Amino acid sequence: MSEISLVNVSKLYKNGFYAVKDCNVTIHDHEFFMIIGPSGCGKSTTLRMIAGLEKISSGELYIDGELSNMLEPQERNLAMVFQNYALYPHMTVFDNIAFSLKVRKLPKEEIERQVMSVADMLGISALLHRKPTALSGGQRQRVAIGSAIVRNARAFLMDEPLSNLDAKLRAEMRVELSRLHKKLNATMIYVTHDQVEAMTLADRIMVMKDGIVQQVAAPMELYRHPINQFVAGFIGSPEMNFIPVKSREDASGFSLIGKNLKVEADETIESAVHGDSHNETLQGNYAQKDLILGVRPEDFIPVSSYQAADFLFEPAVVENLGNDYLLHGYMVSAADPFGISRKKEKMIVISMKRNDTISDHDRIPMQIVTEHMQLFDPESGRNLLYPGTPADPETLATERRQA
């Protein structure tokens, strides 16, 4: 098993388009590492560059400390699972799994032993004599995974391996993959656009957008401390609510004011807005500027009185998910409880665990959990409350080279 480092890795196409730009990351030994982002963000290209299927335009790739830019895919000793399974249709399941071992000219008995052990592990022993066309999607996926894990590769690369499966199978395979990772204790690099997969499986997640790495962090770290508005919106389902606000300081203290919202802010927020936060890159003073307040759907608490409420919530659509509710609706100012709600405004989503039914006519007094609030600069999208300094790519690159 191995450690894989990317130092300033870029992929530049002939037309001048950067598919990946200055990617700096180290994937540790035994880590389940996820690369996530919307379509066309460069996540698959990054994986393919690691695999050697795509040439690296600039930067360095180290596998176990060895510079591997120029190594052929065969020489990197990595295994990969493809989105469309990539099984050889004219070979049986046994031959498909055994292929990489046969290429390495292992003794017949050894091949048989290893294939049987992998087949047992994945529960496909009964299918070994079938051709891939006679298998269901889930079974094919297992065979594809089997073909990858049968040999002792340094790391396993997976390119959206579950995206062709239906929702139920996907959930099953997720559990299977998690179990497999624990059992093999292998380094896995997994590309997906499904943030549920990323959140449930990953040790660490790298979020990409337009070829640029946005943030690399553990799932909950990403969820609670997104570096910018893009990451905040991409991670979490339903999406984080973004509400335009301005800061105001008066006799009652420091608060954030939206069209229909007033939130008392604590010191952390106040110092962030005033630009003297521990976040050194945020030098500007945001006191007079527009800001965007980010609140996760579960970070709203219904309160009993209008006085304690930050705003009133008027549900328009109630989605019953069984265990909890998703309420889509509009905000109404708590200062004017009988005012007309602004239907033209964007709806917000609130997730609630409540046993009683919610009428879509009620106006529910709501409070925001301030400790989980995020505050974004509308121009740069930066999170003012991000704890720590976004790393400088050059410093990171130097550190990695030295390592």
Partner 1 sequence: MSTLTKEEIDHLKNTANAKALQRRRLKTSALLITNVIFAFLILLPLLYAVSIAFMPSGELFSTEMNLLPKHPTLTNFRDALQKVPLFRFVLNSFIVAGLITIGQIISCSLAAFSFSFLNFKGKEVLFMLLMATMMIPGEATIISNYLTVSGWGWLDSYHVLIIPYLTSAMGIFLFRQFYKSFPISLYESAMIDGCSNIRFIFRILLPLTKSAIGAMAVYTFINAWNMYMWPLLVTGSQQMRTVQIGISMLNSVDAQSMTLMIAGVVIIILPSISIFIIGQKQLIRGMFSGAVKG
**Cβ proximity to partner 1, 159 vs 270, nearer residue:** 159
CB 96 within 8 A of CB 132: yes
Scan residues 144-173 and list those touching partner 1 (CB under 8 A): 147
**Cβ proximity to partner 1, 186 vs 213, nearer residue:** 186
| Residue in 78, 143, 245, 364 binding partner 1, rule: CB under 8 A | 78
Q: Which stretch binds partner 1 (CB under 8 A): 17-25, 47-55, 243-251, 264-272?
A: 47-55
CB 69 within 8 A of CB 184: no
Residue 145: in which H helix or E strand, if any?
A: helix 137-149
Residues of the chain by 3-state class (helix, strand, coil), percent to 5: 30, 30, 40
Beta strands in 146-185 (DSSP E): 155-159
Report if residue 205 touches partner 1, rule: CB under 8 A.
no
Least separation, in Å, of the C-beta of 66 and partner 1? 17
**Cβ proximity to partner 1, 84 vs 398, nearer residue:** 84
| Residue in 71, 86, 106, 180 binding partner 1, rule: CB under 8 A | 86
- CA end-to-end distance (rounded Å), the chain: 18
CA distance 67 to 46: 16
**Cβ proximity to partner 1, 53 vs 303, nearer residue:** 53
| Residue in 89, 185, 321, 338 binding partner 1, rule: CB under 8 A | 89
Least separation, in Å, of the C-beta of 80 and partner 1? 5
Amino acid identity of residue 34, one-letter, is: M
Report if residue 286 touches partner 1, rule: CB under 8 A.
no
Closest CA to 368 of 328, 326, 315, 311: 311
Report if residue 90 touches partner 1, rule: CB under 8 A.
yes
| Residue in 69, 92, 100, 200 binding partner 1, rule: CB under 8 A | 100
Report if residue 14 touches partner 1, rule: CB under 8 A.
no
Scan residues 364-393 and list those touching partner 1 (CB under 8 A): none
CA distance 362 to 113: 66
**Cβ proximity to partner 1, 104 vs 344, nearer residue:** 104
Closest CA to 155 of 56, 52, 70, 86: 52
Give CA 200 to chain center in angstroms: 10
Report if residue 103 touches partner 1, rule: CB under 8 A.
yes
Report if residue 13 touches partner 1, rule: CB under 8 A.
no
**Cβ proximity to partner 1, 104 vs 343, nearer residue:** 104
Least separation, in Å, of the C-beta of 73 and partner 1? 4
Burial of 102 (0-12, 13-18, 19+ CB in 10 A): exposed
Q: Lay out the site mask for partner 1 across 311-340 (x = CB under 8 A, - = otherwise).
A: ------------------------------
Strands laid side by side in the 155-159 sheet:
66-67, 58-63, 4-12, 18-27, 212-217, 204-209, 32-36, 187-192, 155-159, 78-81
CB 286 within 8 A of CB 380: no
Binding residues for partner 1, rule: CB under 8 A, are 51-53, 72-74, 76, 78-80, 82-84, 86, 88-90, 99-100, 103-104, 147
